[in-house]
Structure 1
Amino acid sequence: MDERPENPRVEPRPGLWDLAGAWRGVLTAVAIFALTRIGQLIMLVWLGNAAHDGESLRGRLLVWDGGWFLRVAVNGYPHGYTYDASGHLEGNELAFFPLYPMLIRGVSALGLSPETAAIGVSWIASIGAAIALHLLGTTLYHRRAGWALVAICCSAPVSVVLSMAYSEALFLALVAGMFVAAHRKVWWAAGLLGLGAALTRPTGAAAALALAVAAIMAVRESRRQAWQPLGAAALALAGVPLFLLWVATRVGDPSAWFRIQTAGWGTSFDFGRSTWTFLRETLSSGDGWIPVSVALILLVALAAAGVALAGKPWLPLAVYGIVAMVLVYGQAGFYHSKPRLLLPVLLTLLPAAVAAARARPRVAVLSIVAWAAFGLWYGAYLVAVWPYTL
C-alpha cells in the first residue's frame, strides 16, 4: 500500500541572500574588497614617496576628474560654453554627469568638506559595488564565482579609481545592482538603479539598453504585470537623454554636450579609427612601456570578451558588455583612459571569475593574488608616477 502523502511538501527554493552565504558570505566579499583597497593605498604611499613630488595621499585621490566633480558639487554647472583667452572652445563641467557630484554636495551638507565627502562617497559606493558584484556572481553562477568576481574586478589594472574621487565606483555599484535586481525580477529596484547608472556616466545608456533586453525577456516569459519590467526599462532609458537634453537647453545648442566633450578631451565617436591607429603605431614602434601596456590591455580585454561570449552568458549582461565596449573602443580620446572605462564593463571579467570558481581553492587564490599584485601596482604607478590623467 502506498503511504506517500497526496500533496508532498515542496521545499522552497533558497533566496539569493542564502545562496550568497548570508552575512558571512557578504562580509567575506567586503573583506576581499578591503584587502585590495589597503594594498592599493600602501602601494600609492610607497610609490608616492619614491616620486618625491610632495603630493599627499589625499591629494592623489582627488586629482584629475576629481577636481571637475568637486567644482560641480561646490559651484554647480556653468550656464554656457567656456572659452580660452584666444576664443577657442574649452571643456567645462557640463561634460560630467550629475549623480556623483549631487551625492558629494549632499554628504558635505552634513558638515564634511567637499573633498572628504567626495572620497567618502566613492569609498562607500565601492563597498556597495563589492556586495553587488558578489550577489551578481552568485545569482549568475554560484557563491565562489561571486567572491572571485569581487577580487578580480577590485584588483584589476586601474581599479585604483575605486578609491579616488571618480564616478566609476558609484557606476559599478549601480550597474551590478541593476543586473542583480533584473535577474531576480525585482523591477522597481532595477529601474531605479538603472536610472542612477544613466545619470552617473554616459555608458549608463548601455546599461539601460541591457535592462530593456531583460524586460523584453521577462515579458516573453509572462505577460502578467508586463508594465513592471517595461516601466523599469523606460525609466533607465530616459536617464542619458534627459541629461543631454538638459545640457542642450542650458547652453542653447542641441549638440552642446558633444561639443564640450570634443573640445575638452578630444572625445568623439570615430568608429574605432583612433583606437586602431593607436594600437597599430604603439605595437609597431614599442615606444614607451605604458602605451604598450595599455595596448595589450585593450587586446586582452577584447579576447576575454570573446571567450565570455562563447560561454553564452546571460543575454542582458552580454548586450551591456558589447555596447559598452563599442563605446570605449569606438571613440577617440585619451588612450590611457580606456582601461579605466573598461573596468565596469564586467563581461571581460567573467571568464577569469568562472575559471577561478571552478579551480582548486589554492590555485584560484594564487592566481588572483598574482593578478592583484600586478593590477594594484599598475594603478598606483599611473597615479603616483605617470604624469597624465587617467
Structure 2
Amino acid sequence: MVVIVVFAAARAVTTAFMLVLAAAQPENAWTAASPRYIDFASMWDGRWYNIIAVSGYPTVLPLTDDGHVGENAWAFMPVYPFVARIVMSLTGAEWALAAVGVSLAAGFGAALVTYRLFRERLDAGASLFGVVVFSVAPVSPLFQVAYAESLHLLLLAVALLLLLRRHYLLLIPVVVVMGFTRPSGLAFALLLVLHVGIRVIRRRQDPFARGDLAAATILAVVSGVVGLGWPASAWAVTGSITAYTDTELAWRSAYIGYQHLVPFTPWFQSLEWWTGSRWGWVVVVAIVIAFVAMMLSRPVRALGLDLRLWLASYALYLFAVFFPQSSTFRLLLPLFPLAAAIAVPRSRIYRVLVVAVSLVLQWGWLLIAWRVDGYDWTPP
C-alpha cells in the first residue's frame, strides 16, 4: 500500500508539471494550443503508436525523395499499441485516454514489482526509498504518457525478479512479450549467457537445481531469437531484409545523413557531431570510464551479480547500436536498478536532496524533451 501511495504522489507532482506546460503549449504538429492533459501526454511517438493501433504496419516502406527509407511505424514494436487498442475496444475510450491509461496502470505495476525486486537485495527501508527514486526519476513522466516504456519496465522488473529467483521456465513468456514491447531481447540474452556461464564456473558454490541448466540455456536461446524477431517480422512483411535497421537509421539521418549501421560506432559518430570536432571520442571514453567506475562502486556492488550483469548488458547493447541524442535519457530508463544503489545511503539530508534534484531534473527533461517549441529537434 505504501508503494502505491508513493507512486501516486509522484505521479500527482508530474501531472502538475505537465498541466502547467500544457496550458502554455502553442499549437503544434500534434495538438491545438493549450491541449487537454491526455492530448499533451500522447504527443511525439504516441502518434506512431496511435497509427499502429489503428492501421498496423506498412507493407511497403516509404521512401524519401533521394530513395532512402523514411521514418515509419516499423521502428515501434506492437505489444503496447495493441494492448491500448484492446482497451479501446473493451471500453470505448479514445486512443489518448486508453494509451495513457495503459501506461499509468503499468507504471503502478512496475513500482510494486520493483519494490519486490529491490527487497531481494536490500532491507525494507532502502527498498522503499529505491521506489521513491524510481517514481520521481527525471524521466518518470514516461509512466503517464503514451509511450511503451512503462509497460516494458513492468515486464523487465518481472523478468529480473524471476531471474533472481531462478524461475527460468516462467521467464520464457515474459521475455517473449517484453522483446516485442521494446528492444530488449538481445540485451537480456547477453545477461542470460553471462548468468549461465558464471553459474557453470561457480557450480560448486552455486549448483544448478535439477533441470535448471537446460532451462536457463533454452531461455537464453529464446531471448536471442526474440531479439531478432522484430527485424525478421519487418523483413517478412516488407520483403526487405534491412527494413528494421533502415527504418531506425532514418531517425539519425537528420544528424549525420544516411549511413550503414556499424556496431559500436554510433556513439563516436554522435559525440563527434555534438562536439563539432574529431575529439568527440574523448567524451565517449570518459563516459565509458565513468560507467565502469560506477559499476565498481560499493552501492552498485550491493545490488548483487545478476542486476549488475543486466546493467552491463543493457549498457553494452546501447553502446553497440544507439545514436545518442535527446532520446538518450529515455533509453536509460531500463537501467532502473540503479535506483536501488542510489537508495543505499541512509542520510536524511542526502535522501531529501536526491528527491529535490530528481524533481528539478524532471522539470528540465519536460522542458527540453517533451514541450514542443516551434521546430523542435529534441524529441523525448
Query: Is the 8 Å Cα contact of residues 275 and 329 (structure 1) preserved in structure 2?
Result: no
Using the TM superposition, give the Cα deviation of residue 215 of structure 1 relative to its aligned residue in structure 2, in angstroms.
Answer: 4.4
Pair 1:343 & 2:333 matched: yes
In structure 2, how many angstroms separate the alpha carbons of the residues matched to 1:281 and 1:144? Answer: 46
In structure 2, how many angstroms separate the alpha carbons of the residues matched to 1:216 and 1:330? Answer: 22
In structure 1, how many angstroms separate the alpha carbons of the residues matched to 2:306 and 2:357? Answer: 27
Amino acid at match of 2:297: A
In structure 2, how many angstroms separate the alpha carbons of the residues matched to 1:363 and 1:334? Answer: 33
Using the TM superposition, give the Cα deviation of residue 237 of structure 1 relative to its aligned residue in structure 2, in angstroms.
Answer: 2.7
Amino acid at match of 1:89: V
In structure 1, how many angstroms separate the alpha carbons of the residues matched to 2:364 and 2:180? Answer: 29
User: Which range moves more in the overlay, 89-98 or 211-220?
Assistant: 211-220
CA 1:347–1:138 in 2, change beyond 3 Å: closer, same or farther? closer
1:320 to 310, 313, 316: 310
Using the TM superposition, give the Cα deviation of residue 302 of structure 1 relative to its aligned residue in structure 2, in angstroms.
Answer: 7.0
Pair 1:173 & 2:154 matched: yes
CA 1:216–1:106 in 2, change beyond 3 Å: closer, same or farther? farther
Amino acid at match of 2:272: T
| TM-score, with structure 1 as normaliser | 0.80
Tell me the equivalent position of 2:16.
42
1:276 to 271, 277, 282: 271
User: Which range moves more in the overlay, 185-194 or 136-145?
Assistant: 185-194
1:228 to 204, 215, 221: 215
Tell me the equivalent position of 1:10.
none
Tell me the equivalent position of 2:356.
370
In structure 2, how many angstroms separate the alpha carbons of the residues matched to 1:132 and 1:34? Answer: 15
Pair 1:163 & 2:144 matched: yes
Query: Is the 8 Å Cα contact of residues 74 and 114 (structure 1) preserved in structure 2?
Result: no
Using the TM superposition, give the Cα deviation of residue 341 of structure 1 relative to its aligned residue in structure 2, in angstroms.
Answer: 0.5
2:365 to 379, 383, 389: 379
What are the Cα deviations for residues 309-352 of structure 1, in whole angstroms up to 9, with x where unaligned?
33334333222212322333444546111011011213543431
In structure 1, how many angstroms separate the alpha carbons of the residues matched to 2:358 and 2:371? Answer: 18
Structure 1 spans left out of the alignment, 5+ residues? 1-26, 285-294
In structure 2, how many angstroms separate the alpha carbons of the residues matched to 1:125 and 1:211? Answer: 25
Structure 1 outlier segments of 4+, above 6 Å:
298-302
1:100 to 80, 90, 106: 80
SS of aligned partner of 2:248: helix
CA 1:51–1:66 in 2, change beyond 3 Å: closer, same or farther? closer
Aligned length: 349
Query: Is the 8 Å Cα contact of residues 191 and 232 (structure 1) preserved in structure 2?
Result: yes
Query: Is the 8 Å Cα contact of residues 39 and 96 (structure 2) preserved in structure 1?
Result: no
- Aligned-residue identity in percent: 24
Query: Is the 8 Å Cα contact of residues 161 and 169 (structure 1) preserved in structure 2?
Result: yes
SS of aligned partner of 1:77: coil
1:60 to 14, 20, 40: 40
Amino acid at match of 2:121: L
| TM-score, with structure 2 as normaliser | 0.82
CA 1:50–1:264 in 2, change beyond 3 Å: closer, same or farther? closer
CA 1:375–1:216 in 2, change beyond 3 Å: closer, same or farther? same
Query: Is the 8 Å Cα contact of residues 138 and 359 (structure 2) preserved in structure 1?
Result: no
Pair 1:32 & 2:18 matched: no
Query: Is the 8 Å Cα contact of residues 131 and 339 (structure 2) preserved in structure 1?
Result: no
Query: Is the 8 Å Cα contact of residues 195 and 309 (structure 2) preserved in structure 1?
Result: no
Using the TM superposition, give the Cα deviation of residue 112 of structure 1 relative to its aligned residue in structure 2, in angstroms.
Answer: 2.2
In structure 2, how many angstroms separate the alpha carbons of the residues matched to 1:265 and 1:49? Answer: 31
Amino acid at match of 2:17: M
Using the TM superposition, give the Cα deviation of residue 230 of structure 1 relative to its aligned residue in structure 2, in angstroms.
Answer: 2.9
Using the TM superposition, give the Cα deviation of residue 211 of structure 1 relative to its aligned residue in structure 2, in angstroms.
Answer: 3.3
Using the TM superposition, give the Cα deviation of residue 124 of structure 1 relative to its aligned residue in structure 2, in angstroms.
Answer: 1.1
SS of aligned partner of 1:240: helix
Amino acid at match of 2:349: V
Pair 1:143 & 2:124 matched: yes
